[in-house]
Structure 1
Amino acid sequence: MAIYFYGCVTMDGYLADSQHRIDWLHQVGSVEDTGYDDFYKKMNVTIMGKRTFEEIQNLPDVEKFYQATENYVFTHEKELKVKNYQAVEENVLDFISKIDKDKNVFVIGGNSLIAPLLDADLFDHLIIQIAPVILGKGIPLFTQSEFQRFYHLDQVRQFGQFAELVFSRKAPLDLPIS
C-alpha cells in the first residue's frame, strides 16, 4: 500500500480560507490545468474529511467524481446523501490499517486526517501544488505534532499557474547525518 496526499495550497500554505472554502482555487485554474487525471488513474481508495466532502457534495455531477475508487468520508453522520461515498466513524489510523496492502490511498483533504497520518509517518508521497494566491489566514496544510520528517524531491513541474512539487518518503538510511 502507498499513501498519497495530492492537493493544492496557497503560497502561504493554506488548503482553504478561514471559512473552509476553496473558492480561490477555482479562480486560479482548473483540474484540467494539472496532472491530476494521470495521478487519479493510479488510485484505488480515497479518504477525506467531512468539510472536504461538504465542499464537493453540492457540485454538479458529484456522483461522477471519484467513480473509479472506493470513497470514504470521515464524519459522525451515519449515511451520506451522495452515492459512491461511505461514511466512516473511526480513527483514521485504525481505518488505514485495515486497507488491503495492494491498494493506493489518496488522502484528498482535511488537515484533521493529514496530521495524524504525518504523526504516524504513513505518507509515502506528497504531491503539493502551489497556487499563486495569498490568503493571509485560513486552514493550514500542516498541523501535525512537532517532529522532523525528510522527503526526497522527485519532481518539480508547472501546470498553468500551478507549481507542483512531488515528494517521496526518504528511507531512514538516506537521512542526513548531523
Structure 2
Amino acid sequence: MSVYFYGCITLDGYLADKDHNLDWLYQTGTIEETGYDNFYEKMDITIMGRKTFNEILHMENPHLVYHKTENYVFTHAKELAVNGFKPVSGNIAEFVKNISSTKNIWIIGGTQILAPLLDNDMVDKMIIQIAPVLLGAGIPLFTQKEVLKRFYLEELNQYGQFAELVYSKCRN
C-alpha cells in the first residue's frame, strides 16, 4: 500500500481561503494543465473529508469525478448525496491501516485527514502543486504535530502557472 497526498496550495501554504473558498485555484489554471490524469490512473482509493466532498458537490456530474476509485468521505453523515462515495467515521490512521496492502490511496484535500497520517508516519509520497497566489490567511496544508519528518525531492515539474514538487518519504 502507498499513501499519497496530491493537491495544490498557494505560495504561502494555504489549501483554501479562511472561508474554505477555492476561487483562487479555479482562477489560476485548469486540471488539464497538470499531471493529474497520469496520477489518477495509479490510484485505487480516495479518502477525503466532508469539506472537500462539499466542493465536489458543486461540480458538474459529481458522480463522475472519481469514477474509477473507491471513494471514502470522513463525515458524521450516514448517507451522502452522490453515488460512488461512502461515508465513514472514526480514526483515519486505523481506517487506512485496514486497507489492503496492494492499494494506492489518495488523500484529497484538508489537513484534518492529512495531519493524523503524517503524525503516524503513513504518508509515502506528497505531490504538491504550488499556485502563484498569496492569500495571507486561510486553511494551511500542514498542521501535524511538531515532530521532524523528512521527505526527499524526487521530481520538479512545471504545468502552466503551477510548480509541482514530488516528494517521497525518507526510509530509514
SS in 2 for 1:109: coil
Aligned twin of 1:175: none
CA drift at 1:57: 1.2
Pairs within 5 Å for 1:92-107: 92-107=92-107
Aligned twin of 1:50: 50
Unaligned runs of 5+ in 2: none
Structure 1 runs (4+) greater than 2 angstroms displaced:
none
Q: Which letter maps to 2:157?
A: R
Task: Tell me the TM-score normalised to structure 1 length.
Answer: 0.95
SS in 1 for 2:144: coil
Instruction: Number of aligned residue pairs: give it.
Output: 172
CA drift at 1:55: 1.1
Identical-residue share of aligned pairs (%): 53
Cα distance in 1, alignment partners of residues 73 and 121 from structure 2: 21
CA drift at 1:21: 1.2
Task: Tell me the TM-score normalised to structure 2 length.
Answer: 0.99
Cα distance in 2, alignment partners of residues 88 and 62 from structure 1: 19
Cα distance in 2, alignment partners of residues 17 and 147 from structure 1: 26
Unaligned runs of 5+ in 1: 173-178
SS in 1 for 2:27: helix
Cα distance in 2, alignment partners of residues 141 and 77 from structure 1: 24
Cα distance in 2, alignment partners of residues 3 and 70 from structure 1: 14
Cα distance in 2, alignment partners of residues 149 and 91 from structure 1: 21
Aligned twin of 1:135: 135
SS in 1 for 2:55: helix
CA drift at 1:90: 1.4
* 1:54-112 Cα shifts (integer Å, max 9, x gaps): 11112111111110000000000000010100000111011101101100000011110
